Amino acid sequence: MTPSRTTLRAAIGTVCATVLATSVLTAAPAGAAPQAPARTASAARPSAAGTPTLRFTDITGDGGITLKANVFTPAGADAAHRYPLVVLPTSWAMPQIEYLAQARKLAADGYVVVGYNSRGFWQSGGQIETAGPQDVRDASKVIDWALAHTPADPHKVGMAGVSYGAGISLLAAGADKRIKAVAALSGWADLIGSIYSGRTPHLQAAAMLGGAGALTGRPSPELQQVLKDFLSANMAKEQDMIAWGRKRSPATYVDRINANGAAILLGNAWGDSLFPPDQYAAFFEKLKGPKRLEFRPGDHATAEGLGLLGLPNDTWNDSKRWLDHYLKGTDNGIDKEPPVLLKSRSTGAYEGYKSWQDVPSGHHRIALGTTQRIRTGTDSGADGGLIFLSSMLDQFLRMPPMASIPLLPRSAAAVWQSDPYAGGQRVRGTTRLHTTVTPTAADGTLIAYLYDEGPLGLGKLVTHAPLTFHGKTPGQPFGLDLDLAATAYDVPAGHRLTLVVDTADPLYIAQNPSGARLTFSSPANDPSYVSVPVRD
């Protein structure tokens, strides 16, 4: 017999509860903290004596719905003292106990912490509104409740969260002036620029989000229609989908966020399958107040995932230092460190920069001089991998998706190669492709991949990105610019960089008419090239 949806939800909830509750019970004693990385100059602040108090409660959200929540208060807290408040909205499809381990650590160090299940998920009321206005008002309702029912300080309010919780936290910072600091981990600033980059639907990402939402919550009719249009690549509804996503994008409200003045920490992974790093970097550059940007190897939420189990974790360490400085006023030096912190996929070493624009020290241009013609709709074998799995293999084993460059069929894949690099190359930042394309059909999709190709022809994926075009004149060439996902990758000496372009990838919904062809050329007055950001 096929298990019911209720049974599956209960099973997921039981597993999550067991794992997370066990992590809280077996975590280090109150006051203990994992050793900070060598790059961190400050020492851990002594914790309050005793065990923080945990209670579960109901909070009334926007429109009168019930939000299931848990509250940690410091040991010995009383009404005569006020403590900084941190609010933690849950990630997509996660139960309300998601943050118990981190909430306990914060409370042990003198914070009031309220974690709550976002509306529409699990036992919280309402429907899934995908970080819509009701979700933002819910965050303010939770702050209202905490200030009325806990010894929280109204002048020291912060928010933090992973994924969905990160997006809600950023949106709330633009709507609620009481929020003074945010740690937004594996979140988004531009929702459409994340799962619809290059006007190409990200199939696996959207299907995973839709499936997880349906299994653990109650998607709103609006969300159901948007997902239907998205997964069917309904171009008649494209502008409606873009407007829906823009309404839910913190980048839309960056002026409000800047005006409210919250200190913003953004953390993400190089291989995030849901929210690629570039959209966070662009948002970071527009922030005017205190800000910090951190990129590490991994996929969606994997850079901070172990921290949810109470294990040592650099991302959560820095998040706490951020909150300590901007809510408690702790002089821990984080405000004096370079605001951009990158961890190399190749070496695991940290690198600090004063801005995102300063990450590359130059650009290496690879000429794409030979004209190449490919048929569309065929997967050449050059792929971006599978969501979560591929980037996790890269994070833990340094095994990104690979392809044998000599074996790629040239009828389905256009291939250009640089000369081998005698001294290697440190790729840092966003690679840009510029070329001229002549299609035989008005619409089409292409995917560009940049590989680190070794002497035997084995290519390791450095970065990639899709692009879909519409309404072009068949037989008429047009210029094309495509930014590939930002990364930090070291190409070894003796290897070369290889650009591959094909038209099919399991990660994306391609829109290539049957029998269509694409020709890539390099006119004398507008040469084609790949510009690779490098660091000396």
Given a cut of 60, whether residue 281 has pLDDT beyond it is: yes
- The pLDDT value recorded for residue 78 is 82
Give yes or no for a contact between 92 and 151, defined as CB atoms under 8 angstroms apart: no
For the cut 60, the answer to whether the pLDDT of residue 18 exceeds it is no
**Is a pLDDT exceeding 50 seen at residue 190?**
yes
* Amino acid sitting at position 312: P
Amino acid at 85: L
State the pLDDT at residue 50.
80
**pLDDT tens-digit readout, 293-336:** 999 999 999 999 999 999 999 999 999 999 999 999 999 999 99
pLDDT at 153 > cutoff 90: yes
pLDDT of 475 higher than 50 = yes
Contacts of 243 (CB under 8 A, 6+ apart): none
Residues with Cβ within 8 Å of 259's Cβ and at least 6 positions away in sequence, in order, are none
Q: State whether the Cα torsion 101-102-103-108 is positive or negative.
A: positive
Does 44 score more than 50 pLDDT? Answer: no
Tens-place pLDDT, residues 405-426: 999 999 999 999 999 999 999 9
pLDDT for residue 166 is more than 90: yes
Please compute the mean of the pLDDT values over residues 511-530 and round it to a whole number: 97
Residue 176 has pLDDT above 70, yes or no: yes
Instruction: Check residue 24 and give its pLDDT.
Output: 36
pLDDT of 193 over the 90 cut: yes
Give the chain's end-to-end CA distance (angstroms, integer).
61
Helix (H, G, I), strand (E, B) or coil at 14: helix
Per-residue pLDDT, 49: 58
Q: How would you class 514 by CB atoms within 10 Å of its CB: exposed for 0-12, middle for 13-18, buried for 19 or more?
A: exposed
* pLDDT bracket for residue 26 (50, 70, 90): very low
In the chain, the percentage of residues whose pLDDT exceeds 70 is 91
Sequence letter at residue 467? L
pLDDT of residue 9: 44
Residue range 74-89, pLDDT digits in tens: 998 887 899 999 999 9
Spatial distance between the Cα atoms of 14 and 289, rounded to a whole number of angstroms: 41
pLDDT confidence tier of residue 3, bands split at 50, 70 and 90: very low
Cβ atoms 58, 116 nearer than 8 A: no
Query: What is the spatial distance between Cα 158 and Cα 138, in angstroms, rounded to a whole number?
Result: 15
Q: Taking 60 as the threshold, does the pLDDT of residue 15 lie above it? A: no
Six-digit token pair at 33?
Answer: 């903290």
Torsion over CA: 42, 48, 54, 60 (sign): negative
- For the chain, give the percent of residues with pLDDT over 90: 90
Instruction: Extract the tokens encoding 36.
Output: 């900070």
Residue 157 clears pLDDT 90, i.e. is over it: yes
**pLDDT score at 418:** 97
Beta carbons within 8 Å of 276's beta carbon, 6+ residues apart = 194, 197, 485, 486
Q: How far is the CA of 414 from the CAs of 103, 376, 476, in angstroms?
A: 51, 11, 19
Cβ 269 vs Cβ 186: under 8 Å: yes
Note the pLDDT of residue 6.
Answer: 41
The pLDDT, as a whole number, for residue 77 is: 86
CA distance 63 to 185: 28
| Token reading at 469 | 């075009």
